Structure 1
C-alpha cells in the first residue's frame, strides 16, 4: 500500500534543514548502498560526521513520530535514522529493493520505506520516485514537507534529475504489523471507526468497530 502524508515538516523546519544541508559535507551515496544497489546508486548523502547531524536526524524522526497520519498508517515499532540525499543534474538511483535489515548498531527489519521531500517539485526537473506495482509503475513527486510511505519490498528507483537539485530524507520503519495485508485491513477498519464516530458516536456499531480494531491489533501485533 502506497500512501502520501502531507505536512510532516513545516516551513521553519524545512528552512532550518535546507540551510544545514547547504553548508553540510556530502559523501558518495554508494557508501551506504547494499551489495547490488552499488551498481545503480548515483547520488550524494550527508556525511554521518556532519555538524549537527544528530539534531537533523531528530528533526525528521520527531516529525514522523508526532504525525497522526504516519502513526495510523505505519504502526511504527522502530524507525531507522534517516539518510539525507542530494541529487544533482544527471544523478539517479536505478531500480533496486531496499535491504531487509537496516542499521549497524541497532538492526531493524525494513517493513516500510519513507521518503520525506525537502524541496518543491518545481525546484528540479525529473527526479521522480517510481515504484513498480501490480498496476504498473507509479511515480511520486511531492511538495516540500510531504512524505510517501510504501512497502520496502517494492522495486523502485529515483529517475535522473535533468535540472536543479533534489533533496530528500529517507528512512525505514519496522512496523508492529509486519504483514502488509493485515496492516491494510487495520487501516480500513480505522477509517470505518473514525467515520462511525463522526456520524453516530454512541452507536452500537461504533463500539463494535473500536472493539474489532483493538482485537485485531492485539492479535496481529509483533511485540
Structure 2
C-alpha cells in the first residue's frame, strides 16, 4: 500500500491565498486535545472549520474529487462519507506552533472510521521555516511536499507530525474521508 500520495498543484496559488483571506476574519479556536484539556506540549495551533466560512463551499467539492481519485488509484479503501468539516490549522512561530507524532484514527465510537487524511498546503513554502509535515509509515520518515497548493494524502492510521514553526506562519487544511471501521 502507498504510504504517502502527493498531488502537486491540486490548488493554484491564487486559490490558496483566497482560502487564507476567507478564514483570516473568522475567530479561531485553540486546538483541543485529550477531551477538553489543552496540552501545548502535544499541539499548538489555531483552528478554523471551513463549514463556518462563507464562500468556501467550492473547496470541499474539490477535496472530495481529489480523495476519490487518489483512493481509486492508490488506496482502495471503503469510503462512505466526509463526516467532518475541513479544518484550517494555523501554526505560528510566535506561538511555537507544532503538532507531535500522532495518528488521525480517533477514539471512542469514531475509532477507525477515519480512513484517509488529506492535507492541503495553503502557505507559500518561503513564508515560514520549520513546520514540516512528516509522515512515518514504518521505520523511515517522509517529508511532505511544501509547495503551495500541493495535496498530501495518507492512511489516517499513519503516524505523522508537524515540526515546530521557527519563523513565519504555516497554514494548512486537513479533511478526513470516513468509512466502516478497519478490521
TM-score normalised by structure 2 residue count: 0.78
Question: Max radius of gyration: which structure?
Answer: 1
CA contact (8 A) 1:37 1:96 kept: no
- Identify which of 121, 124, 128 aligns with 1:124: 128
Paired position in structure 1 for 2:86 = 82
Residue 164 (structure 1) aligns with:
168
- CA 1:98–1:176 in 2, change beyond 3 Å: closer, same or farther? closer
Structure with more helix by fraction: 1
Count of matched residue positions in the alignment of Structure 1 and Structure 2: 172
Deviations 1:94-142 (A, max 9, x none): 12222336999xx981111111111121111000011223241222142
2:103 is aligned with 1:97: yes
Cα distance change on mapping 1:83 and 1:124 into 2, 3 Å = same
Q: Which residue does 1:201 correspond to in 2?
A: none
Instruction: Answer yes or no: is the 8 Å Cα contact 2:51–2:85 preserved in 1.
Output: no
Specify every segment of 5 or more residues in structure 1 that has no aligned partner in the other structure, as ranges.
180-223
Separation in structure 1 between the aligned mates of residue 180 and residue 7 of structure 2, nearest angstrom: 19
- How much is the aligned-residue C-alpha RMSD, in angstroms? 3.1
| 8 A contact 1:102–1:108 mirrored in 2 | no
Over residues 28-62 of structure 1, what are the superposed CA-to-partner deviations in whole Å (9 max), with x where a residue is unaligned? 011xx34499530111001678542xx42x33321
Q: Deviations over 1:124-179 (max 9, x none)?
A: 10000112232412221421111111111112111000001100111111258968
How far the C-alpha of 1:6 sits from its partner, in A, is: 2.0
Secondary structure of 2:118's aligned partner:
strand
For 2:150 and 2:140, locate their aligned partners in 1 and report how far apart those are by CA, in whole Å.
23
Which blocks of at least 5 consecutive residues in structure 2 are unaligned? Answer: none
Q: How does 1:1-223 map to 2 (within 5 A)?
A: 1-30=3-32, 33-35=33-35, 39=39, 40-46=42-48, 50-52=52-54, 55-56=55-56, 58-67=57-66, 69-72=69-72, 73=74, 76-79=79-82, 80-89=84-93, 90-100=96-106, 109-174=113-178
